[in-house]
Amino acid sequence: MKRFNIAIAGLGGQGIITAGTILKNAALNSELHDVSGSERRGGAQREGYVEALVKYIFYDSLDELKDPRKNVHSPVIQAGGADVLISLEPIETLRAAYYINSRSTVIFSTSPHLPISVRMKKDTYPAIEEIVKELAIITPKIYYYDFNKLSIDNFGFLTPRNILALGVLFSKTGIPIEKEIVEDILAKGSQSENNLKAFYLGLTL
Which residues does 113 contact at the CB level (< 8 Å), separation at least 6? Answer: 11, 47, 89
> For residue range 32-46, what is the model confidence (pLDDT) as tens digits?
778 888 887 665 456
Q: What is the reported pLDDT for 99? A: 98
Q: What is the reported pLDDT for 5? A: 97
Q: What is the reported pLDDT for 71? A: 61
Domain residue extents for the chain: 2-204
Would the pLDDT of 29 be above 90? no
Q: What is the reported pLDDT for 38? A: 85
Instruction: Give counts: helices (H), strands (E), the chain.
Output: 9, 6
> For residue range 48-73, what is the model confidence (pLDDT) as tens digits?
889 999 999 887 776 766 676 666 56
What is the fold, at CATH topology level, of the domain defined by 2-204?
Pyruvate-ferredoxin Oxidoreductase; domain 3 (3.40.920)
End-to-end distance of the chain based on CA atoms, in angstroms? 32
What pTM value is reported for the model?
Answer: 0.92
Q: Predicted confidence band at 179 (pLDDT cuts at 50, 70, 90)?
A: very high
Pair type for strands 141-145 and 105-109: parallel
Which residues does 5 contact at the CB level (< 8 Å), separation at least 6? Answer: 53, 54, 55, 56, 77, 81, 82, 83, 84
Q: What are phi and psi of 20, to 5 degrees?
A: -65, -40
